[in-house]
């Protein structure tokens, strides 16, 4: 169901298509830079793309880019075509893997983002601008908030055909935390943890849409699955929120303010409850 395209050409087409829909002034298709398999090459490529107003960066197929220092923040319109590559932190220093600045727009395809350790927000990817993640894996990252992917207030985040698993937040949003506008489509948010807060899978106080996705097997002190807080709006459509766990009810979906809509979705087998115990009752959810 959640397949990844193996063809580099297919990844390029997907990246370009997403870029065109999210960013009004897309980088020309002819602007492409091959990035050699080294930390310095990737850092230099991002710096040059920022300086030139944007570029498409084609990573070395199957490469592991092991970071000993943080990468430059994305400040222009950049596409990263991963081609089954991995970007990981290989240092005792704490930093996240990718940061999208307020002025930046990033489309990333076919990449594994892992072992980020942000001191505050977005262990895997911290978005302060515009972000699309497609056909990728975001795993085993850590932050205070949003262990995997974080969308700050005023941002747009699109997550498609992507697996987000094994990430941890000290407070809210083990898998993802959203203060802006986030859409998760055809994706898996599985096995993430919020250590002391809410939303092991997802925490939202902006606008969150989850479509045709699984939010399963996550854990938090409250709302192991999805937490809608602070007046946010969460819509879950044709999706599963199953087998999540919490110490305090509910285990599946929590609403402390704002609105939660379940459309043709299943909230089942969460512990200690599915939605019962939510501050504001969740329509169409039992148990």
DSSP letter string over 124-158? SEEESSEEEEES-EEES-EESB-SSEEE-TT-EEE
Length of the chain: 287
Let me know if residue 254 belongs to a domain: no
Let me know if residue 41 belongs to a domain: yes
Distance of CA 72 to the CA centre of its chain: 19
Q: Is 22 helix (H, G, I), strand (E, B) or coil?
A: helix
Let me know if residue 221 belongs to a domain: no
Let me know if residue 49 belongs to a domain: yes
Arithmetic mean of pLDDT, 61-84: 98
Q: What is the pLDDT of residue 21?
A: 40
Query: Are 115 and 143 within 8 A, CB to CB?
Result: no
Let me know if residue 75 belongs to a domain: yes
Let me know if residue 132 belongs to a domain: yes
Query: Are 223 and 196 within 8 A, CB to CB?
Result: no
Mind listing the pLDDT tens digit for each residue in 236-281? 999 999 999 999 999 999 999 999 999 999 999 999 999 999 999 9
Q: Residue 28: give the domain boundaries.
A: 8-196
Query: Which bin fits 241, alpha (ψ -120 to 50), beta or left (φ > 0)?
Result: beta
Q: What is the pLDDT of residue 5?
A: 31
Let me know if residue 135 belongs to a domain: yes
Distance of CA 50 to the CA centre of its chain: 22
Mean pLDDT of the chain: 92
* pLDDT exceeds cutoff 60 at 2: no
Domain count, the chain: 1
Q: Is 45 helix (H, G, I), strand (E, B) or coil?
A: helix
Let me know if residue 208 belongs to a domain: no
Mind listing the pLDDT tens digit for each residue in 175-228? 999 999 999 999 999 999 999 999 999 999 999 999 999 999 999 999 999 999
Query: Are 260 and 287 within 8 A, CB to CB?
Result: no
Whether pTM > 0.85 for this model: the answer is yes
Q: What is the pLDDT of residue 221?
A: 98
């Amino acid at each position: 169901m959640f397949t990844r395209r193996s063809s580099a050409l297919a990844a390029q087409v997907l990246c370009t298509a997403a870029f065109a829909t999210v960013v009004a002034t897309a980088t020309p298709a002819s602007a492409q830079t091959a990035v050699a398999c080294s930390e310095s090459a990737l850092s230099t490529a991002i710096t040059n793309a920022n300086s030139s107003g944007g570029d498409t960066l084609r990573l070395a197929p199957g490469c592991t880019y092991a970071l000993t220092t943080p990468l430059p923040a994305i400040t222009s319109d950049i596409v990263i075509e991963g081609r089954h590559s991995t970007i990981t932190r290989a240092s005792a220093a704490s930093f996240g893997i990718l940061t999208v600045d307020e002025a930046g727009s990033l489309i990333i395809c076919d990449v594994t983002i892992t072992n980020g350790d942000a001191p505050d927000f977005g262990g895997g990817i911290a978005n302060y601008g515009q972000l699309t993640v497609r056909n990728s894996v975001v795993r085993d990252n850590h932050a205070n908030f949003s262990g995997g992917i974080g969308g700050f207030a005023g941002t747009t985040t699109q997550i498609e055909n992507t697996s987000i698993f094994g990430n941890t937040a000290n407070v809210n949003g083990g898998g993802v935390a959203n203060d802006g506008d986030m859409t998760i489509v055809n994706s898996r948010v599985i096995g993430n943890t919020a250590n002391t807060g809410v939303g092991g899978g997802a925490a939202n106080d902006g606008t969150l849409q989850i479509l045709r996705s699984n939010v399963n097997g996550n854990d938090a002190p409250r709302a192991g699955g999805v937490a809608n807080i602070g007046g946010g709006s969460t819509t879950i459509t044709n999706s599963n929120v199953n087998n999540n766990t919490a110490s305090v009810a509910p285990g599946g979906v929590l609403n402390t303010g704002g609105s939660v809509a379940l459309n043709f979705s299943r909230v089942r087998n969460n512990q200690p409850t599915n939605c019962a115990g939510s501050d504001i009752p969740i329509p169409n959810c039992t148990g």
